[in-house]
Amino acid sequence: MPLPKLNNDTPRYEMTIPSTKESVMFRPFLVKEQKTLLVAFESQDQKLILSSLLGCLETCVPGINVKDLATFDVDYMFTQVRSKSVGESTTLLSACTECNEENEVKIKLDDIKLSEIKNDINGKVVPLTDDISVELKYPTYNDLIKNTTLKDGGSKADVLFESIVSCLKAVQTQEENIVLRDEPKEEVETFVNSLTSEQLEKITNYVQDLPTLTHVQKFNCKKCGKENEARFEGLQDFF
């Protein structure tokens, strides 16, 4: 006798994508998606983790292309799906600022907020010279999966450099608009390396203004009793 089929793959919850304000339906993770995520997180391979995260969201949130969504959209959506999948709270570790004792801090996933979206989601044009400008965009995880530092364990400087490259959409001159996804990576890197510090700062300001998941949680140290205020930021801090 065949086993009964469980009808658990039908979306039944609703959420809003932060950047587009589009309302979408989603379902919780099933065991098959959880296994994929666990294997990826245990591997500590950033490329595999991001690929698995995108793959799980694609199956749980039908009808959208998550590869085209900004990184902060994916982060927010993942917390929403996870809250309906394996519990509405997560327990994190935070060291006491007085005695350095590790404390367990329980956080409700619904309390995690996305910081302000300061830039136009359609992009921003930044002039570099009188004749040349760059068009910036929010990076996607699909951009970052192509990031060599994710595989090679690059330095913070390498990660920042790749984040800048991921935000570059086009270079505009008086004669043409050069879309960078169509250009060899080596040429894009050469262009970025040719920037002055002042020109680079204009782009890094955009990168540093990217929205991120944030939460501040107060707790009393279990060892010395001191009241602490732990700040968590970015998807990696919450899972």
List, for residues 116-148, the tens digit of each pLDDT value: 887 777 778 999 999 999 999 998 988 888 765
Same domain membership, residue 113 and residue 181: no
Burial of residue 80 (CB within 10 Å: 0-12, 13-18, 19+) is buried
Structure tokens at 193: 């390396």
Same domain membership, residue 107 and residue 217: yes
- Cα separation of 75 and 207, whole Å? 16
Same domain membership, residue 131 and residue 204: yes
pLDDT, mean of residues 22-31: 93
Residue 58 Cα distances to 12, 13, 70, 74, angstroms: 15, 15, 14, 10
- Cα separation of 73 and 69, whole Å? 6
Return the closest-CA partner of residue 16 out of 82, 89, 80, 92: 80
What percent of the chain has a predicted confidence (pLDDT) above 70?
95
Same domain membership, residue 101 and residue 82: no
Q: Quote the pLDDT of residue 26.
A: 95
Return the closest-CA partner of residue 211 out of 145, 139, 158: 139
Give just the sign of the alpha carbon dihedral 153, 157, 163, 167: negative
Q: Is the pLDDT of residue 7 over 80?
A: no
Same domain membership, residue 59 and residue 40: yes
Same domain membership, residue 41 and residue 1: yes
Q: Is the pLDDT of residue 153 over 60?
A: no
Give the orientation angle of helix 156-167 with respect to helix 197-208, to 10 degrees: 80
Same domain membership, residue 186 and residue 160: yes
List the domain range (segments joined by +) for residue 15. Answer: 1-87
Q: Is the pLDDT of residue 33 over 80?
A: yes
Q: When comparing pLDDT for 48 and 5, which is higher?
A: 48
Q: Is the pLDDT of residue 151 over 70?
A: no
The residue written with tokens 């490259």 in the block is: 165
Same domain membership, residue 163 and residue 50: no
pLDDT, mean of residues 77-84: 92
Q: Is the pLDDT of residue 233 over 90?
A: no
Q: Which amino acid is at 141?
A: Y
Same domain membership, residue 227 and residue 196: no
Same domain membership, residue 189 and residue 140: yes
Same domain membership, residue 217 and residue 111: yes
Q: Quote the pLDDT of residue 12.
A: 86
Q: Quote the pLDDT of residue 156.
A: 64
Phi and psi at residue 134, to the nearest 5°: -120, 140
Q: Could you tell me if residue 117 is left (phi over 0), alpha (psi between -120 and 50 degrees) or otherwise beta?
A: beta
Side-chain-side CA neighbours of 164 within 13 Å: the count stands at: 21
Q: Quote the pLDDT of residue 78.
A: 93
pLDDT, mean of residues 140-158: 68
Per residue in 210-231, pLDDT (tens digit) is 899 999 999 999 999 999 999 9
Query: CB neighbours of 190 closer than 8 A, spacing ≥ 6?
Result: none
Structural domains counted in the chain: 3
The answer to whether 2 touches 14, Cβ cutoff 8 Å, is: no
